[in-house]
Structures are given as C-alpha cells and as structure tokens.
Structure 1
Amino acid sequence: MSNQDSKKNRGSLPYSVWPAQALAQLEHEGADTLGITLYELMLRAGQAAYEHSQTHWPEAQSWLILCGHGNNGGDGYVVARLAQAAGKQVTLLACEGKKPLPEEAQSARDAWLEAGGEIHAADASWPEKVDLIIDALLGTGINRAPAEPYATLIQQVNRHAAPVLSIDMPSGLSAATGSASGDVVDATHTLSFIALKPGQITGKARDYIGELNYADLGLSAYLSGETAPMARFDACFLSHWLKPRKPTSHKGNQGRLLVVGGDAGTAGAIRMTSEAALRTGSGLVRVLTHKDNIAPILTARPEIMVDELTDERLSEALKWADVIAIGPGLGQRDWGKKALKSVAESEKPMLWDADALNLLAISAEKRQNRIITPHPGEAARLLGIKTSEIESDRLHAAQALANRYGGVVVLKGAGTIIASEAGEMAFADVGNAGMASGGMGDVLSGIIASLMGQKLALFDAACAGCVAHGAAADAVAAKRGTRGMLATDLFDLLWQFVNPEMNQ
C-alpha cells in the first residue's frame, strides 16, 4: 500500500491526540458519562471492528481471528461472535496467559463459547483458506518486544497474503511512542478506538499502520469537552493559520527575512532556503553568504537579494531583518562560528538549522525567540545521546530538546513532532518517503522562517510550515510517485498550500 493510499481516509480522523497512558481513564470516564459498563464499551468496539471488516472486505468468508490475553483479545472475541452469527467461517486462535483475563475480556470469551464458538491454541494449524485476518493480539499495552507465542503469530500474519485489520494498534507497535522493538503486524487497516494515539502517527507508524481509521464508540460528545494534550495537523488545517491577504498588503509588511549560511561550495542549501521563503510569501529575502555563491544564487533566483557575509554587512542586516534564519550550508569553520555568535546576540525571532545546530550542541544555550529544526541525528548530538534513543521515544526527545534549548523544537522525521517548552505538542500528519532526499530540510527552514516573518507565533509558524511542506511533497508524490523527488520539486506546488483559500 502506498503512502497516498494509506492516507486517503485521514480527513475523517480527529485532530486531538491522547497519550497511551490516558486511555484507561478515558474509557472509564467515558463509560460513566454514557451510563454504560466497560463490557458494553467493549461490545461497541467489537461491533465497530466487525462493521469495518464487512464494509471493506465484504467478500471475505473465511475469517482468522487472533486473540491476546487482554482486553484487545476481548474485542476479538466480540468480532468472532458477530462474524459467526453472520454466517462467516471463523477460526479463533487464543494466546493463554498466566493471569486471569480482565473481567470484560472474560465476559466476551464466555459469550463466544456460549454461541458455539471454538477456541484453538496459539500454535494450532491455520485453515487452508483465510480471506481476512483480525489482529486482536496486543493492542495498546505493548512496551517491549513481543514474547512467544505472540512473536511467531505476528510472523505468520506477515507471511500471509490475506488483508489484516489490526484492532487499535498493529500488535508489537508501541501506542505511546510508535517504536518497534521486535516483530510488528504489518496491517492493511488499523481501527483506532476512542482516541488517536501518538504511536499511530509518529515513529514507525507509517511502516505498519496501513490505512488508519477511527471509531469514537459514542464518546465524541465526552471527548469534545476535554482538552487533548496533543494535536494532529494536516493540510485541512492550513486555513486556520493562513488567512487571505488584505488587498493593501505590500512587501514591507510580509516579512523581511535574513538568511545566513552557505560557506564555499554550499550555494545550493542557502538558495533553497531563501527561495522557499519567497515561495511561501516573504516580502523580502536577503542572503549573506560566501562570495563565491553570489553569482550562482542570483542567476538561479534573481528575486533574492544576495551579498557577501562580512561583519559590517551582518551587523546592518540584523538591524534590517524582522526574522533571521541561520544554518543551511553554514559549516563549522571559524567563518560560520563567528556569524552564529553575532546572530545569537539578536533578540529577534530566529530559526536555527543544520550546522547552526551542530555548533549549538558544542556550546549549548537556551532562548525563547528561536525555533530549532533538528533531524534525529542532530537531535542526538544536541541531547548527547544515540540516534536510536531519539527514535525509540520521539515524544520524550522533542520535549527534552524544548526544555534544554527553549523556544520551539521541530523534530523532523516520519510524523514530525513540534514541541515547546510550555508543553505544547503537535504532529505534522503529512509527508512521504520521497522526502528522503537532500535539501528537504533546507526548504522546510525557509517555509517556517517565512511564516514567522508573516507574524505567526513561533509554535504556529512551525506547525503550519511543517504541514505546508509535507502537503506539497504529498502533492508531488500523487503526481509522480516518491522515488526521484527533489526538494525543489515542492516549489511548483507549494503555492496551493500557502494559499489555502484557493482550495476552498
């Protein structure tokens, strides 16, 4: 399944995201609000999963249902009973545990047996014909590599050709972080109940979730009154941030952006950042760079004001600018270090990327007027840990960066995370594998810096910039696929997303 196919249903998803550890409380409070028991809530979950299966795979007659020893397995027992009552051929394999089943799951198991259902051991042979697999093994509770017999079952699922519906989470994928420390079910669809979880959006989520769907189980009214601690943003949300311009707008009030970087031989990085800013709507973009880069940049994009980076010009430009972006192509020589030191003395809104972050890791300092945009490797250097540690818990890493360096952090990657020291956290639910190419980060820096100059608050500029960037890449992928995508390909379609009124 392509990234584009997996996203086709995401417009119906809520924008709120809840921590995995909050789910039990949401379930209890939601059930109390509705005046129903937790078992009745489980019946709703099973009904939703059954109806989803019927809608998407109506021809499937032979269903294989895999149940774990928890409430996720309880949902599976409900699905099995409903499918059997509808005339489906149901084979149910269950993993037994050392502890008793939770009360609700035991009730669902008893109801399945009372309806004449059979329970086979986890290592039982699979039917020769399987049209649909229901993954109700581990759900949201996993925080380590799946043990046996779960690991073997997951491997069998992934070798089988039948479509797979994972209930709440693909088994083996962490609902809290999106990390995968062992085998994970490669789902065709995932049906999330009650709330979206971080692990469905960031980390390894895109590799395993498939098409993400959502069922509120009747709790939407209850959840609408709660303030979710995290948000999910996509292209549909751009109109919230980017309003049509007033007819009397002029270049002076659309932001004067200073971009600093581009040591010898790195004209491309600084050019992409500065052009991305113009394409996003900056009124004026001024570049200070190595003298060898001036002619190539002007030849490629004459609308950019380019000059050699000197102490005198930098001092004057810092007074002129509304916003400063530094880092693309900056290098780590004394030339770049000196420029960064001067920029750091300014109190104007600024964005640091690339080598500015590598230099920041050497000499850490905290400030509130800055956005930093590290990829996982840069984030690891900024926190003094391994890249694998960043990827194992991207939410914690993003918040740790915000706490250490202040301002706003954009932790790039699949399911980019935007976090602030104040505790705001959001996911940019856009983008695709075609963005795994050089220059994408330079373009993102220009987009975000441009929106800062257009008077968006730092957190909003970071969110809107990440969404516009990823949405433009998705539009490119929809036309031409992901392989071979260039960072500058985004320029042809970026206008659609920074002018959201054109799509209304």
Structure 2
Amino acid sequence: MTSHSEKQYCSSLPHSVWSADWVRQAESVAAVSLGISLYSLMLRAGAAATALARDHYPASRHWLVLCGHGNNGGDGYVVARLATEVGIKVSVIVCEGVRPLPTEAAIARQAWLESGGEILPASSHWPQDIDLIIDGLLGTGLGGAPRAPYEVLIEAVNRAGVPVISLDIPSGLQAETGAVAGAVIRASHTLAFIALKPGLLTGQARDWVGQLHYSTLGLSDWLATQRPQIQRYNGADLGQWLKPRRPCSHKGEHGRLLLVGGDHGFGGAIRMAAEAALRSGAGLVRVLTHTAHVGPLLTARPELMVQRLSDDTLQQAVEWADVVVVGPGLGQGDWGKNALKLLQTSDKPALWDADALNLLALHPEKRQNRVITPHPGEAARLLNCRTVDIESDRLLAARRLVAQYGGVVVLKGAGTLIAGQHGEMAIADVGNAGMASGGMGDVLSGIIGGLLSQKLPLYDAACAGCVVHGAAADYVAKKQGTRGLLASDLLPVIPHYVNPELAK
C-alpha cells in the first residue's frame, strides 16, 4: 500500500460506531463547520475507493461500476472518472430513478459524462472481460428489500465470479442492524465512509461485508469531538480492563465464585464453565451440581471445589460467594427450578445463562446486579417474540432486554452486543464460525463470572469476557480452522488473553 493511499483509507478500524442516521446528518454539520462542500466529500470518497481498488487489485484492467440513484451512485461516478484517468477501462451501469438525483450526485454524474464517459441502462449486457466490480448501487438509507432493477443487478454481481468493492456498505445490507431483507451483494471489500455503522459489524454482516476498511474523508478531527454511540472492542483493548496483578496478591483478593448447574446428563456444561472461570483468574471456584457429576468434576479439575446441590449446600455456598453463575446444564425440571428459586433471593452479583434464562422467561423479574447472556432463541423467549424478530434488529432487542430485565445484557451471535442499564453499548468484534458448537456459551459464562469475581463492574466484565472468549476462539481457529473447533479447545488459551501484558 502506498503512503498516498494510506492517507485516503485505513484498514485498522476505529473503536467508535455510529448509527447510519446520525452519520447522514453529521456529514452536513461537519462539512459546514469545517467549510467543506458536500461534493468535496464525495470526491474524497471516490478517491479513497479508487486507491483501495488499485492497491488490492493492481492487475485489474476493466472495472464495472454500478451506480444507484443516490449519493452512493455519485461516489461511483467519481470512481469511474478517476479510474479512467489512470488508464483503466470502465463501464458504468446505472439504475435510474423517477426523482432528480441529489445535487452532489448530479454533479458527479455530469463530470463523468463530460470526461467522455458513457452510461448504460440497468438492462444492458455486461462486457465479458470485467475483472473488478465497484458497488455503488444502494447506500445506508435502505430500509427494506431491494426492488427491481436493483435486485436483478445484485444477483448478477453475486454470480459474476469477480472481486467486488462496496462503497460504504454492500448494497442490500441494512446499515443500522446488519439484517438482510432480500438480495445483498457479497463484497470482497467494503469501504465505510466517515464512520463505521452497526450493520457492518453485527447481524448478518460477516456473510456479506468481506474485508472492512474505512475513511473519515478528512473529518477525523471533527469526529473526535463527538461522543460515540457504540464502542467496538477487540483483543487489543483488553489491557484497559485487565491490569497486571500485584505481586503480593492472594487468592482471596481474586474472588470466590459459585457456579450452579449440571443436572443429570449435563455435567459437561458446568465443568467447562467452572474451568473457564479458573482460567480467567477467579481465586476460588465452587460448583454445586448433580451427585453423579461430583466425582468426575473433581477428577477432571481438582482445583475446583465440588459438592452435591441441595438446599443446605446452596444456602451455605451463596453466603460464601462473592458472585454467582447459574444456568450451565441447569435444565428446566424441578431440580433446576428449585435452585433458581433459592438464588432469586440473593442480592449477590450474578450471571444467568442457558436454562436459567428459559426459566426467567416464565417468571420475568428485573434486577440491576445481574448479567444475562442469551443467544437469539433465548432472547426471543425472554421478549415473547420470534427469533427472526431478534435478528431483524439486534440492537433494539438488546435495549429491550435491558429495559425489561435490568443489569447488563450480552446478546450473543456474530458481532455480539453488550448493553448496559445506562444506555451504553458495545460490539465485540471478535469470534468466528467455529464457535457455532455446543458448550461455547458455557465457557463464556465462566469467563465473565471469573472476571466479575475479580471485582470488575458488570458492564466491564461482560465486555472483557466477550472479547477474551472470541479472541481465544480466533487464536484456535487460526491454528486448526473453524470446522471441528471445540469449546474446551479455548480453555488452555484463555490465560493468554486475561494477561494482556503477555502480548506486549
């Protein structure tokens, strides 16, 4: 990558994430405050996209630029003109609209025509020698499924078998949510303008975005004065939560954690959660489980304190514990229901997962000293809706869960969301497809529980725990691939990420 192109776009992503509506409004405000025309910003966007395309596909000789009837299309016209100026053959296909083009897009279109460029209708046959497609069809304002002719062109792009660079967002992907309502372009690269939007990082985004880059279009100083709506976290951020331990610290300073779960036949869940808590640095970890699992757990991990779950042992253990994790392998029978009923009387900080959430959905209650970690199916039960409703707007679902159940919500999935009671929200930009396997949620519960026991606040423990979990999985996947990745594969890797000073 040349130093010139480094000034125009960046592949190291920022921490701040903004709603698409905010970015559209902020663009005009920032331009006025800085004395920059909106057309100048469009020129910068086109230049950044052209630089990215040339950097990543230097051998490409014939670009197909697809332009919609909006400012996204205007960016495409700028790319087409700049590419032609450096000797690249360009074909431009346009989806015309019934309304006039936005002013800046109209200027860009006219500049393309005045440079000798041609415009082909959406129904045109594509040239046979195209080796790169620039997607400027639909931008961040899309609110539903693409209609014809956009839908037809999107499907044609996905069949073409050549690399695709999407401008701002892959056409058809919802910028606010990452939801998919219809046809979506599967991009090789996406260049986000001004700021990252949530739909590039969560929902179905990872299926469509490809490698994500961004360009502030010269507005970075102005953006730095604004308060971000959402934070993006990855493994590089763990140091802000996890500091090196004091040399003379002792196990009592690192918390006493109680885990409750593992009904008959589900001992693996509580075993993985408990070891994950140990690996995350909890000082003392106690497990109450079914009688059948006491011996195997002690044999597998003698550092654990394991007892049979009963009313007496539970009451004693809750009094002993600093933090309680309940749910892994709990089941929904009388055994689990009775334990949860007793735990509901405790005011200790807690994490509820798995069947604890399914039981909570039957008898909702709100408390502020709890982290809940639902996957989309569990979230749907908690909100009495369909899983598809959760996935259609994950950010809204996370906020609704906080409003109804209090505390901190971890809505799991690709681009896990963490939402707090004061409106804070984060996206854990870690993890991979190998995590779609049994036991991963149990390991996450143990990690967050272990961090809570070390006195991290609920929201910080949830953010750090999600990042540790996903980063550990990414490390394992890099070594052995995503298919066949086991939840227990993460356990020996967790210490590397809860000791971020090791990475320096």
> Under TM normalisation by the shorter chain, which class is it?
over 0.9
Counterparts of 1:16 and 1:178, CA distance in 2: 17
Match of 2:355 in 1: 355
Counterparts of 2:471 and 2:179, CA distance in 1: 24
Residue identity matched to 1:492: P
**Residues 120-199 of structure 1: pairs in structure 2 closer than 5 A:** 120-199=120-199
For residues 248-296 of structure 1, what are the alpha-carbon distances to aligned partners after superposition, in whole Å with 9 as ceiling and x for unaligned? 1111010100000111111100000000000010000000011111011
For residues 363-385 of structure 1, what are the alpha-carbon distances to aligned partners after superposition, in whole Å with 9 as ceiling and x for unaligned? 00000000000000000000000
**Cα offset for 1:421?**
2.3
Residue identity matched to 2:173: L
TM-score (structure 2 length as normaliser): 0.97
Q: Which runs of 5+ in 2 are unaligned?
A: 1-8
**Residues 262-281 of structure 1: pairs in structure 2 closer than 5 A:** 262-281=262-281
Residue identity matched to 1:235: G
For residues 168-194 of structure 1, what are the alpha-carbon distances to aligned partners after superposition, in whole Å with 9 as ceiling and x for unaligned? 000000000000010100000000010
Match of 1:249 in 2: 249
For residues 183-219 of structure 1, what are the alpha-carbon distances to aligned partners after superposition, in whole Å with 9 as ceiling and x for unaligned? 1000000000100000000000000000000111111
Counterparts of 1:455 and 1:30, CA distance in 2: 41
Counterparts of 2:10 and 2:435, CA distance in 1: 20
Alpha carbons 1:10, 1:212 under 8 Å: kept: no
Match of 1:366 in 2: 366
Alpha carbons 2:239, 2:501 under 8 Å: kept: yes
**Cα offset for 1:332?**
1.1
Match of 2:492 in 1: 492
Match of 2:50 in 1: 50
Counterparts of 1:359 and 1:88, CA distance in 2: 62
Alpha carbons 2:280, 2:498 under 8 Å: kept: yes
Counterparts of 1:136 and 1:389, CA distance in 2: 29
**Cα offset for 1:10?**
9.1
Counterparts of 1:482 and 1:139, CA distance in 2: 32
Q: Secondary structure at the match of 1:299?
A: helix
**Cα offset for 1:490?**
0.4
Q: Secondary structure at the match of 2:93?
A: strand
**Cα offset for 1:139?**
1.5
Alpha carbons 2:11, 2:212 under 8 Å: kept: no
Residue identity matched to 1:472: A
**Cα offset for 1:161?**
1.7
**Cα offset for 1:34?**
2.1
**Cα offset for 1:403?**
0.4
Counterparts of 1:270 and 1:19, CA distance in 2: 38
Counterparts of 1:113 and 1:119, CA distance in 2: 8
Counterparts of 1:376 and 1:235, CA distance in 2: 24
Counterparts of 2:20 and 2:297, CA distance in 1: 48
Q: Which runs of 5+ in 1 are unaligned?
A: 1-8
**Residues 381-460 of structure 1: pairs in structure 2 closer than 5 A:** 381-460=381-460
Q: Percent identity?
A: 62
Counterparts of 1:500 and 1:11, CA distance in 2: 23
| Deviating more after overlay: 29-38 vs 100-109 | 29-38
Counterparts of 1:431 and 1:494, CA distance in 2: 14
Residue identity matched to 2:184: V
Counterparts of 1:18 and 1:188, CA distance in 2: 23
Alpha carbons 2:11, 2:214 under 8 Å: kept: no
For residues 436-493 of structure 1, what are the alpha-carbon distances to aligned partners after superposition, in whole Å with 9 as ceiling and x for unaligned? 0000000000000111111111001000000000000000000000000000000121
Match of 2:4 in 1: none
Counterparts of 1:500 and 1:136, CA distance in 2: 40
Match of 1:6 in 2: none
TM-score (structure 1 length as normaliser): 0.97
| Deviating more after overlay: 337-346 vs 283-292 | 337-346
| Number of matched pairs | 496
**Cα offset for 1:33?**
2.6
For residues 224-269 of structure 1, what are the alpha-carbon distances to aligned partners after superposition, in whole Å with 9 as ceiling and x for unaligned? 1111011100000001111000001111010100000111111100
Counterparts of 1:231 and 1:304, CA distance in 2: 35
Q: Secondary structure at the match of 1:12?
A: coil
Residue identity matched to 1:435: M
Match of 1:74 in 2: 74
RMSD, matched Cα: 1.0
Match of 2:94 in 1: 94
Residue identity matched to 2:143: N
Residue identity matched to 2:152: T
**Cα offset for 1:494?**
1.4
Alpha carbons 2:10, 2:215 under 8 Å: kept: no
Match of 2:341 in 1: 341
**Cα offset for 1:123?**
1.0
Counterparts of 1:221 and 1:23, CA distance in 2: 15
**Cα offset for 1:11?**
7.0
For residues 129-160 of structure 1, what are the alpha-carbon distances to aligned partners after superposition, in whole Å with 9 as ceiling and x for unaligned? 01110000002111211000001101110011
Residue identity matched to 2:410: V
Match of 1:23 in 2: 23
Residue identity matched to 1:121: P
Counterparts of 1:338 and 1:494, CA distance in 2: 32
Match of 1:299 in 2: 299
Match of 1:322 in 2: 322
Alpha carbons 1:370, 1:408 under 8 Å: kept: yes
Counterparts of 2:33 and 2:270, CA distance in 1: 55
